[in-house]
Amino acid sequence: MSVDDLEGLKNWLSRIGDLDSANTDLIENAIWCVKNGNVYRAETSLRTLASNLKKMGKSESAKAVERLL
């Protein structure tokens, strides 16, 4: 998982309309964590993001997030 991967995912989720403010914060936190060498915390944010997307009925988006983990 790289910063480029996460930024690409963020852009894709934003384009298809699956990012609300809380989920945007989660993916931005994951990007910040990867930039600063804390992959564990980035993975935690991504797991929460995937869970949120599943609850919203966005299973395709949740699968895309899970592929990065």
The stretch 51-58 carries a mean pLDDT of: 95
Domain span at 19: 3-68
Summarised one tens digit per residue, pLDDT across range 20-40 is 989 999 999 999 999 999 999
Contacts of 34 (CB under 8 A, 6+ apart): 1, 2, 3, 6, 42
The stretch 37-63 carries a mean pLDDT of: 95
Query: Whole-structure pTM over 0.75, yes or no?
Result: yes
Beta strands in the chain (DSSP E): none
Summarised one tens digit per residue, pLDDT across range 8-20 is 999 999 999 999 9
> How many structural domains compose the chain?
1
Find out whether 69 and 6 touch, Cβ atoms under 8 Å.
no
Burial 25-53 (b: 16+ CB within 10 A, else e): ebbebbbebbeeeeeeebbebbebbbebb
